[in-house]
């Protein structure tokens, strides 16, 4: 069975600073996908960034980047130049290629302080 | 472009009443479809997923059922709601035959009273 663990229930960061959210996972698959989703107070799930496990290069989307350590099964999200609009619940998710399911972590609530 | 519609946005139902939540996807064909439930402040629990019409996989035994009568329509149902069915329900889709990201509807907040 797949598992996703986010060990930080809450994090805070000062506006314009950098913050890193942690995620570890476990899977028996050799090929899979990893995602970070953002859920603001509206509760709409928004995709932030994705990483294919077969790619060694870490994904980057503007101020968001990941540190993907496949051997360690670690997938952290770095947010640079944090903005007030980044405040949200962030979920790490693992998708298997042999099936069609996404497994989510419990989330990290990010607060951005002005 | 693809869009996903989920309704209603909020619902208050008495214990023992039936439930029907509907989700439709536009702009794509043969999507994978999902129903998730989210407890307050928690992660998403996969309830059902479907890779095609009439094909439903259940992840968690419960008081709910799902159906896919058309390619882009996914329905979550219950014959008799329980208090424990209260929660936030999210429908999602992903492209069939590949494992890409899931795209979510805006969710339904269900309160069983």
Neighbours of B59 (CB within 10 A): 14
- For chain B, the domains span 3-112
Strands ordered across the beta sheet of B65-70: B3-7, B19-26, B73-78, B65-70
Condensed to tens digits (0 to 9), the pLDDT of residues B50-61 reads: 989 999 998 886
User: What region does B83 belong to: left with phi over 0, alpha with psi -120 to 50, or beta?
Assistant: alpha
Which residues of chain B make contact with A104, given a CB cutoff of 8 A?
Answer: 36, 43-44
Cβ neighbourhood burial of B49 (10 Å; 0-12, 13-18, 19+): buried
In order of A58, A83, B80, B104, the CA distances from B43 in angstroms are 25, 24, 25, 14
Condensed to tens digits (0 to 9), the pLDDT of residues B7-28 reads: 999 999 999 999 999 999 999 9
Neighbours of A60 (CB within 10 A): 12
CA distance A107 to A93: 10
In order of A46, A56, B31, B41, B93, the CA distances from B28 in angstroms are 19, 30, 7, 32, 10
Q: What is the mean pLDDT of chain A?
A: 93
* CB-based contact A107 B104, cutoff 8 Å: no
Across the range A74-79, mean pLDDT stands at: 98
Which residues of chain A make contact with B41, given a CB cutoff of 8 A?
Answer: 89, 107, 109
Residue B97 has pLDDT above 70, yes or no: no
Residue A65 has pLDDT above 90, yes or no: yes
Substitution target from B102, B108, B110 for chain A, most A beta carbons within 10 A: B102
A100 → closest Cβ in B99, B103, B106 = B99
Across the range A23-43, mean pLDDT stands at: 92
Q: How many domains does chain A have?
A: 1
Of the pLDDT bands very low, low, confident and very high (cuts 50, 70, 90), residue A100 is low
Condensed to tens digits (0 to 9), the pLDDT of residues B59-94 reads: 886 889 999 999 999 999 999 999 999 999 999 998
Higher-confidence residue: A20 or A99? Answer: A20
**Cα-based angle A101, A102, A108 (whole degrees, multiple of 5):** 165
* Per-residue exposure over A34-44, b if at least 16 CB sit within 10 Å of its own CB, e if not: bbbbbbeeeee
- Residue A95 is part of which domain span? 3-113
- How many Cβ pairs within 8 Å bridge chains A and B? 58
Across the range A90-94, mean pLDDT stands at: 95
| pLDDT given at position A2 | 85
Superfamily of domain B3-112: Immunoglobulins (2.60.40.10)
Neighbours of B103 (CB within 10 A): 20
SS3 label, residue A60: strand
Which residues of chain A make contact with B104, given a CB cutoff of 8 A?
Answer: 44-45
Domain of A18, CATH number, reads 2.60.40.10
| pLDDT given at position A101 | 78
Inter-residue contact B102 to A102 (CB < 8 Å): yes
Of the pLDDT bands very low, low, confident and very high (cuts 50, 70, 90), residue B42 is confident
């Amino acid at each position: 069975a797949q598992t996703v663990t986010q060990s930080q229930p809450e994090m805070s960061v000062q506006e314009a600073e950098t913050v890193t959210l942690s995620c570890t996972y476990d899977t028996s698959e050799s090929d899979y996908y990893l995602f970070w989703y953002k859920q603001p107070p509206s509760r709409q799930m928004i995709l932030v960034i994705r990483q294919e496990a077969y790619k060694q290069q870490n994904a980057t989307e503007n101020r968001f980047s990941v540190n993907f350590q496949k051997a360690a099964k670690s997938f952290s999200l770095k947010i640079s130049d944090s903005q007030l609009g980044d405040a949200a619940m962030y979920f790490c998710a693992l998708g298997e290629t042999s099936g069609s399911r996404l497994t989510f972590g419990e989330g990290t609530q990010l607060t951005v302080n002005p | 472009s693809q869009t996903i519609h989920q309704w209603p946005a909020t619902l208050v139902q008495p214990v023992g009443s039936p439930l029907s939540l509907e989700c439709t996807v536009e702009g794509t064909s043969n999507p994978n479809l999902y129903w998730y439930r989210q407890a307050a402040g928690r992660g998403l629990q996969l309830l059902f997923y479907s890779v095609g019409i009439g094909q439903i996989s259940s992840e968690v035994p419960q008081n709910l059922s799902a159906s896919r009568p058309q390619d882009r329509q996914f329905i979550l149902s219950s014959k008799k709601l329980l208090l424990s069915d209260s929660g936030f329900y999210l429908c999602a889709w992903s492209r069939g035959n590949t494992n890409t990201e899931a795209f979510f509807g805006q969710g339904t907040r269900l309160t069983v009273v």
